[in-house]
Amino acid sequence: VWPIVPYSRGLAVVRRRPLLSSCGMVPLRALVVMAVLVCVAGFSPLKAPPRRGRCLTTRRASDDPMRRLGRIIKDKSSNAGDMLSSSPASGAVGGALVGGMLLGPFGALFGSQIGADLAAKKQAERAVGEQFGLPREVLEQASTLAESLSSAQEALQASEMAYNSIRSRALSLETKSSGLQDQARELLEAGDEEGARGKLTTRVVVEQELKDAVAEASKARQRRDQNTQFVELMRRQVQDMDEMLARAMAAKGMGDAAAAVASMEQQQFGTQPAVDPLEAKFRAMEQSKDDK
């Protein structure tokens, strides 16, 4: 049925036809819906949906076992550092250690425990012990050593700042004393004895302050030297502990590498490990003798 619609000159019969796109195949309403989807949600009918999955890698046949051992040791160290950095002890150092003193495995494992509370320290020590199989006494000693090194470094920085401040004050007083003496000489040459006497009186007070500052600077320098020696002693202890931790990591990595190689051999040659060719030949000779 063709509807009748109003017309300017009367009534007219209009035949309805579906609205088509320029290609004459897709309805215009569908094109509008697609355009809205593209603008709002980034949908595209020509774009394939993203594929999800994991990228699988295969081990090269020429991969050296020692290289795999090195990677295992490196992964163990990085995993321990991640555990400690994710614990509540992370971020507690606060710039206490300056100059990169905590390097190597010691710094990676115990640097984040400095300044943390007791519960966080125990949790981090337990994580490291489970990761590398270290005794509890060794972990407590390493944690205490890290705290002592941090305190020694802070004391060294404080004594260095105090010594520099007192030394600067002493140099300033010395310059002031020399200036007062020059001014008194100029006033005396100009005939102003009263003014020269006042400058010399002030210089006596400055000289006493300078004497006290020099004595205080000497004591501050002694404290700085003592703290420097203590920090050097702690640093040597840290180096010894660092070597011990490195050996523990290497031993742990060796065990993991041996287990990985054994597992790979079992997967490649069956449930039984591969037999040495000479041993197989010897067994065959024994078997032939028994048969005879």
Mean pLDDT by 10 residues, the chain (292 residues): 47 47 49 53 48 46 46 44 41 38 52 50 58 68 76 87 91 92 90 89 92 91 90 82 72 54 48 56 64 60
Render the burial of 150-185: b for 16+ CB within 10 Å, e for the rest: bebbebbbebbebbeebbebbeebeebbeebeebbe
Question: How far, CA to CA in Å, does 128 sit from each of 75, 77, 85, 176, 246?
Answer: 14, 10, 12, 59, 13
What does the pLDDT read at residue 129? Answer: 56
What does the pLDDT read at residue 264? Answer: 46
CB 49 within 8 A of CB 93: no
Domain ranges of the chain: 4-41, 65-261
CB 174 within 8 A of CB 210: yes
Q: Nearest 5°: phi and psi at 67?
A: -65, -40
| DSSP H stretches of helix in 7-117 | 28-41, 65-86, 104-110
The dihedral through the CA atoms of 72, 73, 76, 77 has a sign that is: negative
Task: Report the SS3 class of residue 46.
Answer: coil
Distance CA 145, CA 110 (A): 9
What does the pLDDT read at residue 46? Answer: 47
Task: Report the SS3 class of residue 13.
Answer: strand
pTM score, whole prediction:
0.46
Distance CA 118, CA 147 (A): 12
CB 24 within 8 A of CB 30: no
Question: How far, CA to CA in Å, does 202 sit from each of 20, 177, 191?
Answer: 105, 9, 19
What does the pLDDT read at residue 27? Answer: 53
